[in-house]
């Protein structure tokens, strides 16, 4: 099962970063590749089981279900329900951990999924760079300002 792991350091307290990312409907506010997002059936965005339906800047549509959310451990786990990517069984977790030295944030983003063997390396690289690292880069910029 291919696995993606990307981690970074964000120069802001974990509670501040968490405020930004815990909202499952807030991707367009911090991730540069996301154009719009809504939660289906008017549910609250922190209701475990809710589904976000969003579009990338290029118009592609993705639906994802919130599987787990913890304000105590500062993580969010979700699964892809529909996407244009040739993958199945995609489950990802975004997790924050405080760095006491300097009151910063250690951010980790992992995903596992199934796909055709020959596509795995491109998908792992693309998700890691274009989705996860791009998201962290954007958070680093936003939190610095």
Partner 1 sequence: MPKVIRSTVIDRPIDEVWGVLRDFNGHDRWHPVVADSEIERGQPSDRVGCVRRFHLRDGRELRELLLTLSDADTAYSYCLLETPIPLLNYVAHVRLAPVTDGDRTFWHWESRFDTPAGREQELATLVGREVYESGFTAIRAHLGQGAAS
Q: Which of 1, 58, 72, 101 binds partner 1 (CB under 8 A)?
A: 101
Q: Which of 100, 118, 144, 145 binds partner 1 (CB under 8 A)?
A: 100
Going by the DSSP 8-state scheme, the letter that residue 117 receives in this structure is: G
∠51-110-24 over CA atoms, to 5°? 25
Q: Is 118 in the site for partner 1 (CB under 8 A)?
A: no
CA 145 to CA 131: how far, in whole Å?
22
- Both tokens assigned to 130: 């274009």
CB of 99 to partner 1, least distance (A): 5
Residue 32 interacts with partner 1 (CB under 8 A)? no
Among 43, 46, 53, 108, binds partner 1 (CB under 8 A): 108
**How many whole angstroms separate alpha carbon 55 and alpha carbon 47?**
21
Among 12, 55, 106, 138, binds partner 1 (CB under 8 A): 106
Cα separation, 53 vs 38, whole angstroms: 5
**Token pair in block for residue 83:** 């996407």
> Which residues form the interface with partner 1 (CB under 8 A)?
5-9, 97-102, 104, 106, 108, 128, 133, 136
């Amino acid at each position: 099962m291919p696995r993606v792991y990307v981690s970074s350091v964000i120069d802001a307290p974990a509670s501040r970063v968490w405020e930004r990312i815990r909202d499952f409907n807030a991707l367009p506010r911090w991730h540069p590749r996301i154009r719009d997002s809504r939660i289906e059936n008017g549910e609250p965005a922190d209701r475990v089981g809710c589904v976000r339906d969003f579009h990338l800047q290029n118009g592609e549509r993705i639906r994802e279900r919130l599987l787990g959310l913890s304000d105590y451990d500062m993580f969010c786990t979700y699964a892809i329900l529909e996407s244009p990517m040739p993958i199945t069984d995609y489950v990802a977790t975004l997790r924050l951990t405080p760095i006491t030295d300097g009151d910063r944030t250690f951010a980790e983003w992992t995903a596992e999924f199934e796909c055709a063997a020959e596509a795995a390396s491109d998908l792992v690289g693309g998700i890691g760079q274009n989705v996860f690292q791009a998201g962290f880069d954007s958070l680093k910029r936003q939190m610095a300002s």
